[in-house]
Amino acid sequence: MREREHAFIIPNSLILNYVIPRQSYAVPLPGKPPLLVGERCLVMGILNLTPDSFAEEVPVRDAAAAVDAALRMEADGADLIDVGGESTRPGAEPVTAAEELARVIPVITALAGKLRVPISVDTYKSDVARAALAAGASIVNDISGLRRDPALAREAAAAGAALVLMHTRGSSASMYAEAVYGDVVSEVVAELRESMRLAIAAGVPIERLIVDPGVGFAKRAVHSYGVLARLPELAAALDRPVLVGPSRKSFMREALGGAAATERDWGTAAAVTAAVLGGAHIVRVHAVAEMAQVVRVAEEIRRA
C-alpha cells in the first residue's frame, strides 16, 4: 500500500513575516546624485589603511596599492568604498588625528577622480572627517555614534554629507565590559535614537542619516546574533536606512570552530544573507566579489 501523500501548507501570515518589505530612501550626497537604497541591498567595500587590521592577511602598504584595491572592489560590485585609517577592533590602540590623516587623505584624494561610486570615510574624529570631505568623501561613517567627538556632526552638516551612526559602548578596550543588555534590540534602538538626536541638533537633516546596529561592537556573540535575527524590528523602529557590518567578525568564531578572521568568509556569507532577508539596505564587507554574489542571490530569494 502506498504511503499517503501529505500536503504541507504554510500559512500566509508566516510567509509575510519571513521576508519584511524594505523601505526605500534617497540619501542626499554633496555634489553627487542621491544614494538610492531599498530597491536592492548595496555593497560597501572595506578599504583598511591600517597596519593592524584584524581581517586582512596582507595590509595595504601604500596609497598606490590602496587605489588599486578600491578600483578592484568597484569592478567586483562595490556600490560604496569605506576608507579607514584607524583600527577599531577590540583592544586596538588609538591613533592620533595626524596619523589618521596621513593614511587616508592621499588615498581619498586619488580615488575622488577615479571612482564612480561614493567614498565613505570611517572615522570618529571631526578633524579627519572635515579633511576627508574636502578631499572627496561624501559620507562619514562614525563607529561611535557621535559619542567620542560630537563636533563631527557639525562637519557633516557643513559639507552636506551623509552620516552613518553606529551603535557601540565605551572604547575599543572597554566595549565588551559594557556588553550587558536586558533586551539588546530595544536598547540599541534607544541609543541610536540619541545619536540621531545629536546629529539633527547639530544640523544634519534626518534624510542624510544611516544607522548601523554595530554587530560585534560592545556585544557578545548572542547579542550580535540577536540583532541580526531581529533586524526588521530595528529597521521599523528607527525608520532610516540600515547598514550591517558582520564581515569576518569574532562573534562567528565559536560557531566556526575557532576559525581565524581571514577564514570566516563562509560565516560572513550566512550573516550577509540573514541581513539581506531581514531588510538591510547596505552590507559592509571585505570580500566584495564573493559577497556581491551572496547579496544578489539573497535578493532573488526576497523577490521570490
With contact defined as beta carbons under 8 Å apart, do 195 and 147 qualify? Answer: yes
Per the annotation, the verdict on 249 as an active-site residue is yes
Of the listed 103, 208, 240, 249, which one is catalytic? Answer: 249
CB atoms inside a 10 Å sphere around CB 96: 11
Give the H/E segment covering residue 229.
helix 221-229
Q: How far apart are CA 28 and CA 186, in angstroms?
A: 28
Q: Is the dihedral angle over the CA atoms 225, 266, 119, 65 positive or is it negative?
A: positive
The angle subtended at Cα 229 by Cα 225 and Cα 230, nearest 5°, is 120
With contact defined as beta carbons under 8 Å apart, do 134 and 140 qualify? Answer: no
Task: Report phi then psi at 282, rounded to 5.
Answer: -145, 140
Q: How far apart are CA 196 and CA 248, in angstroms?
A: 27
Q: How far out from the chain centre does Cα 141 lie?
A: 8
For the chain, the maximum distance between any two Cα atoms, rounded to a whole number of angstroms, is 80
Q: How far out from the chain centre does Cα 247 lie?
A: 9
Three-state helix/strand/coil letters over 242-289: EEECCCCCHHHCCCCCCCCHHHCHHHHHHHHHHHHHCCCCEEEECCHH
Of the listed 154, 284, 296, 303, which one is catalytic? Answer: 284
With contact defined as beta carbons under 8 Å apart, do 135 and 184 qualify? Answer: no
The cell for 50 is: 591600517
3-class SS of residue 11: coil
Residues annotated as catalytic (active site), given as ranges? 249, 284
